[in-house]
């Protein structure tokens, strides 16, 4: 029986990441939100489906901890973000507040 080789994940080059992060329009709150989500996914490896399910209640900006609730495999896990990403998150406008 032939064994199946695992494929390595495809990653973006630094130039591709820079080009991607240049797309959101920072003149609008949605552009800032989109930039923050893209940085979060690039910095932590968080999949789009899990990033889309995040709520501000799952984010502790004081410690930089993000709780992914029922993520891959229906398990909860914690991620930590960099100080630079925490600063961006502090400045991100949040419609309706962070509750």
C-alpha closest to that of 85 among 25, 28, 44, 27: 44
Please report whether residue 99 resides in a domain: no
Please report whether residue 4 resides in a domain: no
Name the pTM for this structure: 0.78
Please report whether residue 11 resides in a domain: no
Please report whether residue 6 resides in a domain: no
Domain ranges, residue 61: 16-91
CATH number, domain containing residue 72: 1.10.443.10
Count how many domains the chain has. 1
Model pLDDT for residues 34-92, shown as the tens digit of each residue: 999 999 999 999 999 899 898 889 999 999 999 998 877 778 999 999 999 999 888 87
């Amino acid at each position: 029986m032939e064994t199946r080789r695992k494929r390595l994940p495809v990653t973006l080059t630094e130039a591709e990441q820079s080009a991607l992060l240049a797309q959101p329009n920072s003149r609008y709150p949605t552009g800032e939100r989109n930039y923050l989500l893209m940085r979060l996914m690039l910095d932590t490896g968080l999949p789009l489906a899990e990033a889309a399910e995040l709520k501000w209640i799952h984010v502790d900006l004081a410690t930089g901890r993000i709780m992914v609730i029922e993520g891959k495999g229906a398990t909860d896990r914690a991620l930590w973000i960099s100080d630079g990403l925490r600063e961006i998150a502090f400045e991100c406008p949040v419609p309706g507040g962070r509750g």
